[in-house]
Amino acid sequence: MTPGEVAAGISYLRGRDPVLGVIIDRVGEFVLKPERDIFNALVRAIISQQISTGAARAIYKRLCDRVGGEKKLRTALPTLSLQELRAVGLSQQKAGYLLDLATKVSEGTVVLTRLSELSNEQIIEQLTQVKGIGVWTVQMLLIFSLGRLDVFPGGDLGIRTAIQRLYRRRTLPTKPIHLRKYEKLWQPYASIASWYCWRCLQFDEYKKKQARS
């Protein structure tokens, strides 16, 4: 995402969706610093599944320390055993996922250097070959690592919760037919709209804490 693309996207969304326009004003500047190392981003995504942010960070740090630093993770990970991965705090299942990622990348089944040349759908197809990586994980990568402008993570609970609150729906939207309305509304800048949805939830939680303190 270039600054020009983001500015064009925000202008487009303001005109297209007045509800989101209010949220853009409330939240403020769009800020996204893409994680350029795709391999490390995928490792963190696998580690983070179903555990707290703090626990995931601690495990990732121990893993990096074990291999001699974050920059060595890609080359060193395939040499570790399940037992060595378990020793840094990973479950056996996640340790297996990381070894599968490392193996598929090292053998060329998954080619990370070519992702920028592929469509969103092709990238999802490519990366979901790895055990433990599903569509949601790849969508997060598309937004936060590859900076793709038009990604709608309809399976994300935060996006569904934000839609329910912002558009005053009585129930949490879960069916694709109900979510498709918002995907079409925000295209071709669904990533920017999604970011504002997440930030809106964080902003509201912060305001609640401030009010209680």
Q: Which one from 17, 25, 156, 204 is the annotated catalytic residue?
A: 156
Concatenating the DSSP letter of every residue in 40-85 gives HHHHHHHHHTTS-HHHHHHHHHHHHHHHTSGGGHHHHGGG--HHHH
d(CA 52, CA 159): 19
Chain-centroid distance, C-alpha 144 = 6
Would you call 204 a catalytic residue per the annotation? no
**Ordered DSSP codes for the chain:** --HHHHHHHHHHHHHH-HHHHHHHHHH-S--------HHHHHHHHHHHTTS-HHHHHHHHHHHHHHHTSGGGHHHHGGG--HHHHHHTT--HHHHHHHHHHHHHHHHTSS-GGGGGGS-HHHHHHHHTTSTT--HHHHHHHHHHTS--S----TT-HHHHHHHHHHTT-SS---SHHHHHHHHHHHTT-HHHHHHHHHHHHHHHHHHHHHHH-
The residues assigned a catalytic role are 156
